[in-house]
Amino acid sequence: MASKVQDRATAGAIDQIAAGFAALSVAGVEPVDAVDAVRCTRELEVLVRLAQAAQIDLVDRVERRGLHRVDGHGTVRVWLRHNARLSDAEARRRAQAARALRDLPAVREGFASGRIGFCHLGAIARAHANERVRAELCELDEHLAVLGERLAYDELDRKLLDWVRLTDEDGTRSADERNHQQRDAKLIQLPDLSWRLTARFGSLQGARLRAVLDAAIDAESALDWEKARAEHGDAATVEDLARTDAHRRADAEAHLHDLAAAGLTAETGTTVTTDLVIDHETFTREATRLAGTDPEPRRDPLDLDLATASGRYRCHTEQGYPVEATAAVAVALLGRIRRVVLGADGVVVDVGRRVRLFTGPAQLAATIAHRHCYWPGCQTPVHHCQTDHLQPWAAGGRTSPDNGAPACGRHNRRKEHGYTVRRDEHGQLHTHRPDGTEIE
């Protein structure tokens, strides 16, 4: 297919390249031996680098002439991301590289000839993007070109990072302090019920955490090797390990959280438990399945009477995070997780427990069926609520699950001003004003 580029010289060159790659695709790349495989790899890499050099040169020309603004794009990065269908990160790398090559002619020549790879150029461009060191970096242009051609990527990147830290000590300190002040950690549940852990730390805190995590990973690896050698002897190989590297990393992280929970209990007396709320029908079905019998199909929950709590599907943590039912029931039966089973009216009918971890069963049973304050419209999470008697204790109200519910401090105090709450036969709560009208 002929190029549609208007400039004839450019179009002709593109057609020749396309024809060459088409011929290569037909011929295939079949190395004769290991030495030939290395030759093929290096020659093809040079071709790819030449193509990348042409891409970066195009980005530079578009930005210099302002062609990206014709269609309303504010930056060449946005223009490139849209027209080349790139990720934002890749578009940013190319735009950053184009700007660096304007100031680094020796690096530009090495890149255009295929001697410097795009990843090496990326490391140089990141240093160039730091305005506080840019002028001094440009003075090292010829030296950078030599390093970019001779060094492995990791070594070049490390040298550049160290050089930037030494050249911009104030900026490095400021950046590290900023990173420390912006430290954060999040554990987010995704729609498929999996969890993603992300975090950000300053350099020292991150280094300490990495050292602890590495030690935990090593311990998990030692366990796998111990089991593999017990089964296969000295002939055990990596293929005999029970878990992958990814599994060991994840299990090490989980084990560290278990140790932290035990530490909190020892230091503060605060018991960390995982409480799972599950409706009676689901618990029975999954327990039947685990016993080896397929249960009857459950009716579509969308057909249930949404005006009542009857038959409502529930399988989540106390905080409201959903959990896959089979896994939840399995660990509950083993005693590793505390289960709280709800009857058809949404009231607790069974609280499984491990004696070592379980305190305050009456309070737990009264609140765990809820995800937030019972007051209409209030979204205060249940773990920030107080346990409230629906019928006040002074008026004869019992301390039992069916007479308790979570209320935030503000709404708990409303009970002292004539407001009343009752639970109907379906387990639904109704809040009434002092004049008897219900808050919808």
Lowest-confidence range among 61-65, 170-174, 398-402? Answer: 398-402
- For residues 327 and 321, what is the distance between their CA atoms, to the nearest angstrom? 14
Supply the pLDDT for residue 213.
92
Supply the pLDDT for residue 149.
92
Which band of pLDDT confidence, cut at 50, 70 and 90, is reported for residue 406?
confident
| Tens-digit pLDDT profile for residues 239-275 | 999 999 999 999 999 999 988 888 887 888 777 777 7
For residue 323, give the H/E element and its range. Answer: none
Average pLDDT, the chain: 82
What average pLDDT does the segment 398-403 reach?
64
Give yes or no for residue 356 having a pLDDT over 50: no
- For residues 44 and 204, what is the distance between their CA atoms, to the nearest angstrom? 42
Supply the pLDDT for residue 223.
94
Amino acid residing at 388: D
Which band of pLDDT confidence, cut at 50, 70 and 90, is reported for residue 298?
low
Contact 429, 412 (CB under 8 A): no
Contact 352, 335 (CB under 8 A): yes
| Tens-digit pLDDT profile for residues 180-221 | 888 999 999 998 999 999 999 988 888 888 889 999 999 999
Q: For the chain, what is the total number of helices (H) and then of strands (E)?
A: 16, 10
Supply the pLDDT for residue 333.
65
Supply the pLDDT for residue 123.
94
- For residues 385 and 406, what is the distance between their CA atoms, to the nearest angstrom? 5
Please tell me what DSSP assigns to residue 405.
Answer: E
Supply the pLDDT for residue 265.
78
- For residues 432 and 292, what is the distance between their CA atoms, to the nearest angstrom? 48
Supply the pLDDT for residue 310.
41
User: What are the backbone dihedrals phi and psi of residue 428, each rounded to the nearest 5 degrees, phi first?
Assistant: -80, 140
